[in-house]
A = this chain, B = another copy of it.
Amino acid sequence: MTLHPGPAALGRRRALDSAPLLVAARGGAPSRLPVWFMRQAGRSLPEYRALRAGTSMLAACLTPELVCEITLQPVRRHGVDAAILFSDIVVPLYAAGVGVDIVPGTGPVLAEPVRTLADVQRLPSLHPGQVAPVTDAIALLLSELDDTPLIGFAGAPFTLASYVVEGGPSRNHERTKALMRRSPEVWHALMDRLATVTETFLRVQVAAGVDAVQLFDSWAGALSERDYRHYVLPYSARVLGGLAEAGVPRIHFGVGTGELLGAMAEAGADVVGVDWRVPLDVAARRIGGTLAVQGNLDPAVLFADPASIEAEARRIADEGRRAPGHVFNLGHGVLPETDPDVLTRLVELVHGLSP
């Protein structure tokens, strides 16, 4: 399928060429230090909780008006430099017809875990029409978002694989790690299929007009670099490589990935997301010194006093200046109990720290 949005979205993209997020992602000199927050749309906002009352997560992710409104809430409230499409890692699987539900307090739970070649072969493909509500949501968002870029979103193949193999969230991923070694043919068939699902889902978003994409490999940090390179990197590389010609910045992130930063950059990112464990200047060197970095304030620090938050933000801005480009963000998603006013003040502070 085409990666090219229609003339209206293309015109918008051209008009956004100087948006701080997109300039920083390309390693240029943005007019201000861009900042957004992973999970900025969601549980920390009372207006989100009010809007979601009575609607399941997956239903919300596939209702264009809700996706649009939830995506816009943090942009209005905080004045961040990017909107990120409200979605969930399992949305493309659910849309394709996989039996999966997001159980509050638990996370995604699969009706039938995938563990054999026959299970893999039964996994449906994703057809673009099945995520039409996401296309529609993006169209609504593009008409509402003025000069704020919209970031598309998908879970990476390994993270999807862990959910489908374990049947739900897993602390140790033992079934997943056993499968890759015990049955490499099943593993590679599964990753091939999931990479195609992820690629289709991101291509739909790019064709609908998103200005950047983020590939979330939530669980990649559970792997050694050796295993990541052998069992995972080729599939994430296919997803990211398949988007190269679209020309939108590709952000690649996982938590606890200090050992994997180089490999995750090699997979084909324009921006590598970094958690709080690795200083941004160190991360920039690990990824070869040519790519932009995103991060990396510890989300737990938002529970500290204003002076401590400011000191951390200043340190991060300083370290980020030593990278070829820096998008300010947290080192992981906004925690549900975060005071939204703290986020709003942080955006102001970060804008004041611009080079």
Residues of A within 8 A of B (CB): 172-178, 181-182, 221, 223-226, 256, 258-259, 276-279, 298-301, 303-305, 308, 335, 337
Given A256-B256, A259-B258, check contact A174 B300 (CB 8 Å): yes
Question: Which residues of chain B are near A221, meaning CB under 8 Å?
Answer: 256, 277
Q: Is the CB of B305 within 8 A of A181?
A: yes
Closest Cβ neighbor of A305 among chain B residues: B182
CB neighbours (8 Å) of A308 from chain B are: 181-182
A118 to B180, CA, bound (A): 52
Min distance, Cβ A219 to any Cβ of chain B, angstroms: 12
A312 → chain B closest CB, angstroms: 8
For the complex formed, measure the closest distance between the CB of A38 and the CB atoms of chain B, giving whole angstroms.
13
A303 and B224 contacting across the interface, CB-CB below 8 Å: no
What residues of B have a CB within 8 angstroms of the CB of A178 in the complex? 300-301, 303-304
In the complex, residue of chain B having the shortest beta-carbon distance to the beta carbon of A298: B177
Q: A259-B278, A298-B224, A299-B172 are in contact. Are A181 and B304 (CB under 8 A)?
A: yes
**Inter-chain contacts of A223 with B (CB < 8 A):** 277
Listed A/B pairs (28) with beta-carbon separation below 8 Å: A172-B299, A174-B299, A174-B300, A174-B335, A174-B337, A175-B303, A176-B300, A177-B298, A177-B300, A178-B300, A178-B304, A181-B301, A181-B304, A181-B305, A182-B304, A182-B308, A221-B256, A221-B277, A224-B276, A224-B277, A224-B278, A224-B279, A224-B298, A225-B277, A226-B279, A258-B258, A258-B259, A259-B277
A301 to B172, CA, bound (A): 10
Check if B298 sits within 8 Å of A335, measured CB to CB.
no
Chain B residues within an 8 Å CB radius of A301:
177-178, 181
A-B interface, 3 closest residue pairs, ranked by CB to CB distance from nearest: A178-B303, A181-B308, A181-B304
Chain B residues with CB below 8 A from A172, complex form: 299-300, 335
Using CB atoms, name the residue of chain B closest to A299. B172
The chain B residue sitting closest to A175, CB to CB, is B303
CB distance from A309 to the nearest CB of B (A): 8
Distance to closest chain B CB from A160 (angstroms): 18
Contact A173:B300 (CB < 8 A) given known A277-B259, A305-B181: yes
What B residues does A176 contact at CB under 8 A? 300
Q: Give the residue among A176, A177, A277 with the most B Cβ atoms within 10 A.
A: A277
Shortest distance from the beta carbon of A155 to any chain B beta carbon, whole Å = 19
